Amino acid sequence: MKHIQHTFTALLGLVLLLPACRWLEVNPDQYILAEDALETPEDMQALLVSCYDVLANLYDGDVQLMNELRGDNTNEPLSNNDFKAIYNRETIRWTSYVGGVNRDFFYPVLRVNSLLSSFDLIEGLSNEDRNRMEAEALFIRAFCFWGAVKMFAQPYGYTADNSHPGIPLPTFLRDAPFPRASVAEAYGQIEADLNVAIAGLPATNGVYATSHAAKALLSQVHFLKQEWQQSADLATEVIESGEYALEQPESDSAFVVMRLPIGSSSSETIFGAYSTLSTNDNRTDQFVQWWQPTANPEISLTTDFWNWFQQIAPGANEDHRALWLANQPTEGKALLTRFNEHSFFNVPLIHLTQMMLIRAECQGEMESGLGQAIDDLNTIRNRAGITSAVYLLGTDATSEDVIAAARHEYRKETLGMGLWVEQLQRRGTMGEDIVIRNAPWDCPGMALQFSASEGNVAGFEFNEVGGCN
C-alpha cells in the first residue's frame, strides 16, 4: 500500500508540475513585443523614421507611374496587365498592382497612429520633440490621405458639396475597419493634419519633413480646391523662405538628372524620398524598371505628347528638357530618358518649381500678381535653356497667357512624376471640357478600384468599374 501511495504522490506531483512548465512561456526573439517596442524617445524617433521609410517605398515610382497611366501622356503599356487595366480605366478589386499600392498608402498611416497613441508611454520625451514628432507624423498621414484620395476617388469638385465617396480615414487605432469617408471629409482631415504640422515642424529637418514641406503640400490642396489665394499665399511663403533655389545645371546634359542627385539633396527639393548609396538602399525601383529606355520599356510616351512637347521651343537646343525624351516616330512612341542616368537617385515629391508654377497659375486665375507670375515662368524657361523672346512671356501677357504657360510648364516639369492627371481633373471640375484619351475626366474608371481586401468585411462601398471606354 505504501508503494501505491508513493507512486500516486509522485505522479500527482508530476501532474501538478507540468502545467506550470515554462514551455508555455515563449518569446518571439527575432521580434519586439509591441509593449516593449516603444519605451524611449529614440524608439519613437525610429518609428517615425519607419513612416518615411514606407512612404519612400510607396513613392519609388509606383504612385507616379499609376498617375501617369491615368493621364494622357503615355501609350498603352506594353504587356503588364495591371498597367493596362489602369490605362484603360478598368481596374477591378483584383488588379493586384493597384491593390498593393492601396495597401501601401496605409502602412505609414498605421505607424503614424501608433506613434500618436504612444506619446504618453514615453519617459524623457521633451515637449519640443513630442511636438515635432507629432507634426511630422501628421504631415506623413496627410501626404498619404492626399495621395490616396486623388487616386481612389473622384476629384474634389466632382459633386457640389464633395459628399461623394472618398477613402477610409483611420485617424486612430482600432480593431474595427473604418468606413469610407466623403471627399469633403478627407480634404478636411488633410487640412487639419497639415495645419498642426505647419505649427509644429521646424524650418529645417535634414531629409525629413519641414514646415515648408507642410505649407507646400497645403498649397497644393488649396490649389485643387481652387482656393487660389490660400494656395498662392502658402506657395509664396515657401518660395520666399530662402531655403530653396532652382537648380542651375552646368551643362545641357545635366538637365537629365535635374532634381535627382544622389548623395546630396537637390536645392529645389522641398520634400523627397531618399536613396542611400552606401547601404545600397534604392528607392527608385519602379522608375528604373518600367521607364528604362535601354530595351523596350513597358511604358512610353505618345507621339502626340512628343508633338505637344515641341510646340514651344522645339528641339533640345531650344529647350534642354527635350533631353528627357527620345523620340521613336516609327514606333509611334517617345521614350522617357529622365530616369536613365542613374540606377538610383533621390525622388523629389514636392519641389520649388512646382510651387512657382502653382503660384503662377493661381495668380493667373486671380488676375493679380501677373508680373511675378511672368517672371517665375520665364525664369523656369530660362533655366531650361529657352532664351528666345518668342518663347518667353512678355510683360503684357494676359492672365490667360499666364495660366496657359503655367500649365504647359507644369506638364513638362513634372513629367513622369504623376502630377499631371490631377490638374486635368481640376480643370474638369472648373467646367472645362476635359477629355482624357477619348473619355471624360470624370468617367467612373478614373477612380481606381480599391483592393479586394477592403471588401473582406461586409459593407465597404467600392467604386464603379470601367465606364470610360
Would you count residue 390 as binding other proteins (CB under 8 A)? Answer: no
Sign of CA pseudo-dihedral 391, 393, 396, 402: positive
SS3 label, residue 77: coil
Task: Count the residues in the chain.
Answer: 469
Q: Which stretch binds other proteins (CB under 8 A): 195-203, 244-252, 414-422, 448-456?
A: 448-456
Would you count residue 81 as binding other proteins (CB under 8 A)? Answer: yes
Cell 518667353 appears where?
392
Would you count residue 391 as binding other proteins (CB under 8 A)? Answer: no
Rounded to a whole number of angstroms, the minimum distance from the CB of residue 409 to other proteins is 30
Q: Which stretch binds other proteins (CB under 8 A): 4-12, 376-384, 401-409, 432-440?
A: 4-12
Rounded to a whole number of angstroms, the minimum distance from the CB of residue 144 to other proteins is 10
Would you count residue 419 as binding other proteins (CB under 8 A)? Answer: no
Would you count residue 54 as binding other proteins (CB under 8 A)? Answer: yes
Rounded to a whole number of angstroms, the minimum distance from the CB of residue 265 to other proteins is 10
Do 238 and 257 touch, CB atoms closer than 8 A?
no
Window 118-177: residues binding other proteins (CB under 8 A): 167-168, 170, 175, 177
Q: Which stretch binds other proteins (CB under 8 A): 87-95, 219-227, 413-421, 425-433?
A: 87-95
In DSSP terms, 328 is beta-bridged to: 333
Phi-psi category of residue 61: left, alpha or beta, with phi > 0 → left and psi -120 to 50 → alpha: left
Which residues have C-beta within 8 Å of that of residue 264, sequence separation ≥ 6? none
Would you count residue 297 as binding other proteins (CB under 8 A)? Answer: no
Nearer Cβ to other proteins (265/310): 265
Nearer Cβ to other proteins (16/160): 16
Nearer Cβ to other proteins (274/420): 274
SS3 label, residue 269: strand
Q: Which of 14, 160, 295, 390 binds other proteins (CB under 8 A)?
A: 14
In this structure, what C-alpha cell is assigned to residue 290? 518600367
In this structure, what C-alpha cell is assigned to residue 417? 512624376
What phi, psi does 150 have (nearest 5°)?
Answer: -70, -30
* Burial class of residue 90 (count of CB atoms within 10 Å of its CB; 0-12, 13-18, 19+): middle
Do 244 and 238 touch, CB atoms closer than 8 A?
yes
Q: Which stretch binds other proteins (CB under 8 A): 100-108, 302-310, 321-329, 371-379?
A: 100-108
Nearer Cβ to other proteins (92/439): 92
Beta strands 269-273 and 180-182 are: unpaired
Total binding residues toward other proteins, as defined by CB under 8 A: 89
Rounded to a whole number of angstroms, the minimum distance from the CB of residue 424 to other proteins is 21
Nearer Cβ to other proteins (281/400): 281
Nearer Cβ to other proteins (11/430): 11
Would you count residue 46 as binding other proteins (CB under 8 A)? Answer: yes
Window 20-39: residues binding other proteins (CB under 8 A): 20-26, 28-35, 37-38
Nearer Cβ to other proteins (175/433): 175
Q: Which of 251, 264, 395, 456 binds other proteins (CB under 8 A)?
A: 456
Q: Which of 143, 223, 255, 274 binds other proteins (CB under 8 A)?
A: 274
Sign of CA pseudo-dihedral 436, 437, 439, 445: negative
Do 450 and 106 touch, CB atoms closer than 8 A?
no
Rounded to a whole number of angstroms, the minimum distance from the CB of residue 243 to other proteins is 18
Would you count residue 7 as binding other proteins (CB under 8 A)? Answer: yes
CA distance 339 to 343: 8
In this structure, what C-alpha cell is assigned to residue 159? 459633386
Q: Which of 67, 68, 70, 95 binds other proteins (CB under 8 A)?
A: 95
137-64-335 Cα angle (round to 5): 155
Rounded to a whole number of angstroms, the minimum distance from the CB of residue 83 to other proteins is 7
333-372 burial code (b ≥16 CB/10 A, e <16): bbbbbbbbebebbbbbbbbbbbbbbbbbbbbbbeeebbeb
Nearer Cβ to other proteins (127/174): 174
Do 336 and 348 touch, CB atoms closer than 8 A?
no
* Burial class of residue 26 (count of CB atoms within 10 Å of its CB; 0-12, 13-18, 19+): exposed
Would you count residue 50 as binding other proteins (CB under 8 A)? Answer: yes
CA distance readout (Å), 125 to 17, 109, 263, 386: 45, 22, 31, 52
In DSSP terms, 335 is beta-bridged to: 326
Would you count residue 307 as binding other proteins (CB under 8 A)? Answer: no
Nearer Cβ to other proteins (307/469): 469
| Contact pattern from residue 175 through residue 214 relative to other proteins, giving x for each residue in contact according to CB under 8 A and a dash for the rest | x-xx---------------------------xx-------
In this structure, what C-alpha cell is assigned to residue 75? 501609350
Nearer Cβ to other proteins (25/433): 25
